[in-house]
């Protein structure tokens, strides 16, 4: 049975084909909108429609057998009620002069308060899920930022340490020739100061000869007397 046949089947019960088509469209539209919003549409004795989230997974291509990555998605799901199951299985017989699905309890269709309450509860659940997802995303971003900051700090510290080591090495290399030059200059100065002292000692040697001459002169004078 397709949609047109369904409309024809209920046309006599709702007062005409157009009324039946409008009723079917209205019911299907209400179910689809509620399920998309995350609400669960339950009809006693018939079944329930709900939205189900499927996580990302791997599947097999039936034609090639290749492993394929399937993204995260949401799908609608229908669960048949116990009364519907019993009628299909044959454990219960279809009523001849009554509807197959049990009628709604009295007062449930009067004000529509239960439907509004369910919609509000579903909206609150959806809002809570979004808030949790946002918090999780914010926490992940914070952790990623902290990791990037730590990595940057480590790189900066390593660069500064390397630069300081290079500067120290260069300064040590520059200081070594200067120290060597100072040591050489000091040695030359000491050598220069020590050399005149030796020459002075050498020049004082002729003084002995003068003393000897004086002694000879005294001897000569004594002889003459």
Q: Are residues 208 and 139 both part of a single domain?
A: no
Give me the domain span that covers residue 158. Answer: 113-197
CB 59 within 8 A of CB 95: no
Q: Are residues 128 and 204 both part of a single domain?
A: no
Q: Tokens at residue 176, please?
A: 């070594």
Q: Are residues 142 and 203 both part of a single domain?
A: no
For residue 39, the tally of other CB atoms under 10 A from its CB is 22
Q: Are residues 140 and 204 both part of a single domain?
A: no
Q: Are residues 202 and 219 both part of a single domain?
A: yes
pLDDT at 4: 93
CB 83 within 8 A of CB 92: yes
How many whole angstroms separate alpha carbon 178 and alpha carbon 174?
A: 7
Count of domains observed in the chain: 2
Q: Read off the pLDDT of residues 46-101 as tens digits, 9 standing for 90 and up.
A: 999 999 999 999 999 999 999 999 999 999 999 999 999 999 999 888 888 777 77
152 domain residue, yes or no: yes
Q: Are residues 190 and 211 both part of a single domain?
A: no
pLDDT band at residue 120 using 50, 70 and 90 as cut-offs: low
10 domain residue, yes or no: no
89 domain residue, yes or no: no
pLDDT at 197: 44
At residue 193's C-alpha, the angle toward residues 189 and 197, to 5°, is 160
**pTM for the predicted model, two decimal places:** 0.44
The mean pLDDT of the chain is 75
pLDDT surpasses 50 at 220: yes
């Amino acid at each position: 049975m397709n949609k047109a046949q369904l409309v024809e089947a209920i046309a006599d019960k709702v007062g005409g084909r157009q009324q039946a088509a409008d009723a079917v469209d209205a019911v299907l539209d209400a179910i689809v909108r509620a399920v998309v919003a995350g609400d669960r549409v339950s009809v006693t004795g018939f079944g329930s429609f709900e939205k189900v989230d499927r996580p990302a997974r791997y599947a097999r291509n039936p034609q090639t057998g290749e492993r394929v990555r399937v993204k995260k998605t949401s799908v609608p799901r229908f669960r048949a009620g116990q009364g519907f199951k019993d009628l299909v299985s044959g454990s219960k017989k279809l009523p001849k002069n009554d509807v197959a699905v049990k009628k709604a309890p009295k007062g449930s269709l009067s004000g529509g308060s239960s439907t509004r309450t369910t919609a509000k509860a579903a909206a609150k659940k959806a809002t809570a899920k979004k808030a949790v997802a946002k918090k999780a995303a914010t926490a992940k971003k914070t952790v990623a930022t902290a990791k990037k900051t730590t990595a940057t700090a480590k790189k900066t510290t390593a660069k500064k340490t390397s630069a300081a080591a290079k500067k120290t090495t260069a300064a040590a290399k520059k200081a070594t020739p200067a120290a060597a030059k100072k040591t050489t200059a000091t040695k030359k100065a000491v050598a220069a100061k020590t050399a005149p002292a030796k020459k002075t000692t050498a020049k004082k040697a002729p003084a002995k000869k003068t003393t000897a001459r004086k002694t000879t002169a005294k001897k000569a004078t004594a002889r003459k007397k």
